[in-house]
């Protein structure tokens, strides 16, 4: 029987009110643990000093942002449904997969990720990981990766060493025929998302290798919303239904916004990142503004509309929702086809046995409240300054809106809120 690897991608962002949890003891054997960057500082000043020389390279920023915009638009295109998608999770997962590929399979994945060389991709991913990784009490952006190897499957040592060094991979030996393998992977995911992602991880017949990536994000608003100002209001959903929800309220003086044709863009600052919000004018279909990648990218890069500074009135619904996607069609449309073929797939840098990708899934959840944002992403791959005011904007988010969560110039999450009550 031909062996296969199954690729499963799951990303999750969750609400600030989520609670952490401890992982049960695993039955799978841990073969290696990575050395995560140590970034626990006594003060923000110490952190800024230590990180002064770290940065994301221009090549990585260009390649990743292009991938992020292109993939997000396709993933979130389903109308009248809430959506949350993490491009950084999928990007790191596919980058690690590229390290195990060769021939046409590797080339297609590299083309997807915007690189000519896997070696350069791995180097830039490692640098980006070190730059983005945060483990402060009030700010976390934690990316974690693990390899899961079946007891009867032989994996190239060079691939494992490369994964541990470049992608900070934790390596496990397991038995995919045992239900405890899925429980162990689920427990690992729960632990690395601080208890926010607690869902079953199933193994498949013929599964011999899994790659799991998690992204956990936590940040507080720079200025927290006053809970005393949170009031009930009406949100008109994408399908026209009206729902009652709690709206957080704030007015900002001398705040940036962009006024475009039929839309307004502004941002809510966290202590380290920010949340951009695209609000269509009333009687304007959100998807008219998201008709193309060029439109989406142009809006957020301020290539369209007039950039202004003035009073911005915010009414933001508290929301918490999840979403789930199957991403094989997305990857196919973006040029990755050989990896999914039992005849054409070449993952010989993982193993000399015949294996191919079988499934790609992403699952997500996000929530915001008066305190801030908390997010997590899980990826599993199984083989088979102030200015003078000059305007005013009202960001009354009582209808569907689009948002982007950014950290250090990296687009961590894209989302659409069609109904804050779901």
User: Quick check: is 75 in a domain?
Assistant: yes
Asked whether residue 311 falls in the same domain as residue 329, the answer is: no
Asked whether residue 278 falls in the same domain as residue 337, the answer is: no
- Selected residue with higher pLDDT from 292 and 161: 161
Supply the CATH number for residue 157's domain.
3.30.497.10
Asked whether residue 206 falls in the same domain as residue 235, the answer is: no
| 373 Cβ neighbours under 8 A, 6+ residues apart | 13, 16, 217, 218, 219, 221, 270, 275, 366, 405
Average pLDDT over residues 29-37: 83
pLDDT recorded at residue 251: 92
Beta bridge partners of 135: 140
Supply the CATH number for residue 404's domain.
2.30.39.10
Q: Tell me: the pLDDT tens digits for 122-167?
A: 999 999 998 898 888 788 888 888 899 998 889 999 999 999 999 9
Asked whether residue 157 falls in the same domain as residue 264, the answer is: no
Asked whether residue 107 falls in the same domain as residue 231, the answer is: no
Range of the domain at 148: 5-220+320-383
If one counts the domains in the chain, the total is 2
Average pLDDT over residues 239-245: 92
Asked whether residue 197 falls in the same domain as residue 330, the answer is: yes
Asked whether residue 109 falls in the same domain as residue 195, the answer is: yes
User: Quick check: is 422 in a domain?
Assistant: no
pLDDT of 19 higher than 60: no
pLDDT of 246 higher than 50: yes
């Amino acid at each position: 029987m031909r062996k296969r690897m199954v690729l499963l991608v799951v990303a999750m962002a969750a609400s600030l009110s989520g609670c952490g949890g401890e992982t049960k003891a695993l039955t799978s054997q841990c073969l290696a643990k990575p050395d995560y960057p140590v970034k626990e500082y006594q003060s923000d000043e110490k952190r800024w000093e230590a990180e002064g020389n770290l940065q994301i390279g221009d090549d990585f920023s260009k390649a990743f942002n292009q991938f992020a915009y292109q993939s997000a638009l396709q993933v979130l295109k389903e109308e009248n449904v809430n959506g949350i998608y993490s491009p950084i999770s999928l990007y790191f997962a596919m980058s690690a997969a590229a390290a195990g590929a060769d021939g046409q399979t590797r080339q297609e994945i590299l083309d997807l990720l915007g690189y000519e060389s896997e070696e350069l991709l791995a180097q830039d991913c490692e640098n980006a990981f070190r730059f983005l990784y945060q483990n402060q009490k009030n700010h976390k952006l934690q990316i974690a990766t693990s390899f899961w190897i079946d007891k009867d499957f032989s994996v190239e040592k060079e691939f494992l060493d490369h994964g541990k060094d470049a992608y900070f991979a934790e390596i496990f030996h397991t038995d995919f025929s045992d239900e405890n393998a899925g429980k162990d992977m689920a427990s690992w995911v729960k632990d690395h998302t601080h208890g926010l992602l607690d869902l079953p991880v199933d193994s498949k017949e013929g599964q011999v290798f899994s790659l799991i990536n998690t992204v956990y994000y936590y940040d507080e608003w720079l200025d927290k919303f006053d809970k005393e100002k949170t009031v009930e209001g009406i949100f008109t959903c994408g399908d026209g239904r009206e729902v009652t929800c709690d709206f957080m309220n704030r007015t900002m003086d001398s705040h940036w916004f962009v006024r475009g044709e039929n839309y307004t863009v502004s941002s809510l600052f966290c202590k380290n990142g920010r949340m951009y919000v695209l609000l269509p004018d009333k009687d304007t279909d959100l998807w008219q503004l998201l008709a193309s990648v060029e439109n989406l990218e142009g809006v957020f890069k301020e290539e369209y509309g007039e950039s202004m500074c003035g009073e911005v009135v915010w009414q933001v619904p508290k929301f918490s929702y999840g979403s789930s996607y199957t991403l094989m069609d997305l990857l196919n449309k973006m040029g990755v086809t050989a990896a999914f073929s039992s005849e054409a797939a070449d993952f010989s840098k993982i193993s000399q046995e015949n294996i191919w990708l079988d499934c790609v899934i992403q699952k997500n959840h996000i929530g915001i409240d008066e305190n801030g944002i908390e997010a997590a992403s899980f990826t599993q791959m199984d083989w088979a300054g102030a200015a003078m005011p000059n305007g005013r904007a009202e960001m009354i988010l009582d209808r569907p809106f689009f948002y982007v969560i950014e950290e250090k110039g990296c687009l961590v999450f894209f989302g659409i809120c069609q109904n804050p009550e779901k």
